[in-house]
Every structure is written in structure tokens, then in C-alpha cells.
């Protein structure tokens, strides 16, 4: 049998660029080379796409603090091809060339990668892709919209207030403190990996945190502090999703920051699986699937909770393209749940192709001249 042609898309313009490079490296190293033929498409911080040789696509690949995309490879301009599963790009001699891809694995974390943007591109190109579709990606990325949908479904979320940059003058420290108490968290509405997130204990910190959050998005959330254990659960599937055993984050710093997640291996301890009773563990799994379905997720997502002392679960956030680095929770949770890293990649690709085939059965309007 011929190999399945997989395009791995990574990098991007977001603040999580380096995380994406680490995730891509782990996927490239682990994917079954006997089953899959890979094509690497790296996106640099300026948004330019590069067609890469697998032997030289990263610089300082073993150092999370210095890892970079190798931009010396051939830059390409991508557009949809004339047939299904095809991308067209400009070759070195200025002529068009074609990439035939059976499926795409976009591991572009954060803005323009996790928010439905790149998913929309591959929908237009008519190429199957791993992960949640356009709608689920967009609503899950926007913490404000996600909270509204979860509350409508009766799922508990932290109390918060939302402001846009246009209404920045309406942000009043005393009013927010009265509603949410101290400490509070201020975060961009459309970011992940704790980028731009601040823990605030005073008016001075409040003003700096507002400015910091607006550097990353035009909308921010100010959120109450929820006292509880940080429990995470991985979800996998399309129409019939399943949940992994839960894990627990034990931060060794003030909170689970970007550095703790991806750079400092001593920034947090991971209890995998979490020390929970069977009843609580099953409740976490059931709630994770309910959150996944409420936000129209497919393929994969990691659902993060706070587990309060009274047993209540409060949803913190949902990540539809969770990290795949060597210290990332999503693959680790599946590994202790019986799904190895290479098999996880395999199942995600199979889910992408299955969804594509399902969508192909729908009737679409065809306009004739």
C-alpha cells in the first residue's frame, strides 16, 4: 500500500511560535514513517510559509529557549489546487508546482492557528485536517464566547467580566475588586499557554496587567481566583469522543505560566494520573466530554478544570490544539490511558480523514453557468 501523505504545518505569527516548533519536532520524531510520508510547511513569525527538508527545518531544536525555524529553506506561496487534496505553490524557477496531501496536521498553536483561521483555509482547499473544525476552534479560542456557551449549557465557569479595548476607560479597579475579589487574573480573551496572563493583587498590578493583556488582544477577561486543584483531561474523537484519565498540575511557581508549561521543566510537577477517587475521576471525564461537545469540538482538545474542595468542577479553559512537546499534558494523559504517542498521532489522522469523508456525504449547492 502507498503511504498516506501528511502535511505538518507549524510555527506561525502567534506568541506561541516556539511551542509550535517543539510540538512539530515531537510529532515528526514519533510519526510512523512506514505508514506516513511527511511534508513540512513551516510558517515564520512574519507569516511567510516555507517548504522544509526534514533534516534541517529547525535551529537549536533541543533548546526550548533558543529553538528557531530555519528560514533558509524554500519560501512558498500557497493556494488551493484544482483538485481535491492539492496545494499549489511557486517553485524555484517561478513556475507553479503541486503538493499532493491526503491530510494535514496543523500544529500551529494560538492566534491564526487555533482560532479557526488555518482550519478555514484547509476547508476551502478541500483537504482533511487534524483537530476541531472552524466553528469549534473559534469559539473555544475566545474565552469570553466559550464561557457564555458553557454557562448556557449549565456548566460551571469562573466568575468574570469582559472588556474590549474600545471600552478601556470603563474599567474600574474598585468595582472589579468588589465583584471578583483579590487576587484576580487578567488575561487576553484570545490567547493560550498563559500568554499575557497576570495575577493581580493591587491597583498598581491591575493597571499594568490591563496594559499587558491588551498587547495581545482587543478583548480581555478579568477573572476571579478559584481555589482548587488544577485538573486536566484529554479528549479524543469525533461523534463519539472519549476522555483520558485526568492529570493534575502542581505548579512550583505562583501560577502555571508559559515558562512553567514549555521551558522550565521544574516549573511544575505533573501528577499523571491525578490522585482522585474513581467517582471524581469519572466525573471529570464525563464533564470533559460534555464541554468538548458543547463547544462543537472534534478530533482533540484538552479541558482544564479547577476541582474545588467541595467536589465542584469549574472549567478553566479548553485547548483545541494542545501542546505536543515532551512535557505536554495531552500526549502524556493518553499514554497512561493506554494510547502511545505514535498511536495517538495515528488516531488523530484517522479521525481527520473520517470527518472529511462524513462531510463529503452532505449535499452542496452547485452553481452552473
**Are 28 and 207 spatial neighbours (Cβ–Cβ below 8 Å)?**
no
Among the residues of the chain, which ranges form H helices? 17-30, 117-124, 134-141, 143-152, 173-180, 203-214, 258-262, 278-294, 329-336, 341-360
Per-residue model confidence (pLDDT) at position 48: 87
DSSP string covering 256-282, please?
Answer: --HHHHHT-TTSEEEESS----HHHHH
Per-residue model confidence (pLDDT) at position 266: 63
Per-residue model confidence (pLDDT) at position 268: 77
Per residue in 230-259, pLDDT tens? 999 999 999 999 999 999 999 876 655 455
Per-residue model confidence (pLDDT) at position 188: 95
148-173 in b/e form (b: 16+ CB < 10 A) is ebbeeeebebbebbbbeeeeeeebeb
Sheet holding 79-80, edge to edge: 79-80, 86-90, 96-100
Per-residue model confidence (pLDDT) at position 369: 45
Structural domains of the chain sorted by starting position, each given as residue range(s) with its CATH number in brackets: 4-129 (3.40.50.20), 139-156+227-358 (3.30.470.20), 160-224 (3.30.1490.20)
CA 320/CA 109 separation, integer angstroms = 9
Spans in the chain with pLDDT lower than 50: 257, 365-369
Per-residue model confidence (pLDDT) at position 356: 94
Q: Which of 139, 137, 104 is nearest to 5 (CA)?
A: 104
Amino acid at each position: 500500500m502507498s503511504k498516506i501523505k501528511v502535511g505538518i504545518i507549524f510555527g506561525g505569527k502567534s506568541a506561541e511560535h516556539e511551542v509550535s516548533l517543539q510540538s512539530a519536532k515531537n510529532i515528526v520524531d514519533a510519526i510512523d514513517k512506514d505508514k506516513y510520508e511527511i511534508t513540512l510547511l513551516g510558517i515564520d513569525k512574519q507569516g511567510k510559509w516555507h517548504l522544509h527538508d526534514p533534516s534541517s527545518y529547525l535551529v537549536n531544536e533541543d533548546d526550548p529557549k533558543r529553538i528557531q525555524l530555519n528560514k533558509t529553506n524554500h519560501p512558498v506561496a500557497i493556494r488551493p489546487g484544482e483538485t481535491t487534496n492539492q496545494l499549489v505553490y511557486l517553485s524555484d524557477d517561478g513556475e507553479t508546482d503541486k503538493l499532493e496531501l491526503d491530510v494535514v496536521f496543523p500544529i500551529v498553536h494560538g492566534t491564526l492557528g487555533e482560532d479557526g483561521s488555518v482550519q478555514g483555509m484547509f476547508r476551502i482547499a478541500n483537504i482533511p485536517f487534524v483537530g476541531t473544525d472552524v466553528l469549534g476552534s473559534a469559539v473555544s479560542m475566545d474565552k469570553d464566547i466559550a464561557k457564555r456557551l458553557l454557562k448556557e449549557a449549565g456548566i460551571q465557569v469562573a466568575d468574570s467580566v469582559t472588556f474590549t479595548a474600545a471600552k478601556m476607560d470603563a474599567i474600574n479597579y474598585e468595582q472589579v475588586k468588589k465583584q471578583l475579589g483579590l487576587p484576580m487574573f487578567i488575561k487576553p480573551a484570545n490567547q493560550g499557554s498563559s500568554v499575557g496572563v497576570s495575577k493581580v493583587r493591587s491597583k498598581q498590578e491591575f493597571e499594568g496587567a490591563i496594559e499587558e493583556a491588551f498587547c495581545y488582544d482587543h478583548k480581555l477577561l478579568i477573572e476571579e481566583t478559584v481555589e482548587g486543584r488544577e485538573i486536566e483531561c484529554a479528549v479524543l474523537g469525533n461523534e463519539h469522543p472519549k476522555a483520558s484519565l485526568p492529570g493534575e498540575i502542581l505548579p512550583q511557581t505562583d501560577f502555571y505560566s508559559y515558562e512553567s508549561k514549555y521551558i522550565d521543566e521544574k516549573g511544575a510537577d505533573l501528577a499523571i494520573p491525578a490522585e482522585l477517587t474513581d467517582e471524581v475521576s469519572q466525573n471529570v471525564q464525563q464533564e470533559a466530554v460534555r464541554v468538548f461537545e458543547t463547544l462543537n469540538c472534534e478530533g482533540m482538545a484538552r479541558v482544564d478544570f479547577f476541582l474545588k474542595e467541595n467536589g465542584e468542577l469549574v472549567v478553566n479553559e479548553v485547548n483545541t490544539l494542545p501542546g505536543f512537546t515532551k512535557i505536554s499534558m495531552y500526549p502524556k494523559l493518553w499514554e497512561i490511558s493506554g494510547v502511545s504517542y505514535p498511536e495517538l498521532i495515528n488516531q488523530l489522522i484517522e479521525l481527520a480523514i473520517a470527518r472529511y469523508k462524513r462531510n463529503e456525504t452532505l449535499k452542496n449547492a452547485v452553481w452552473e453557468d
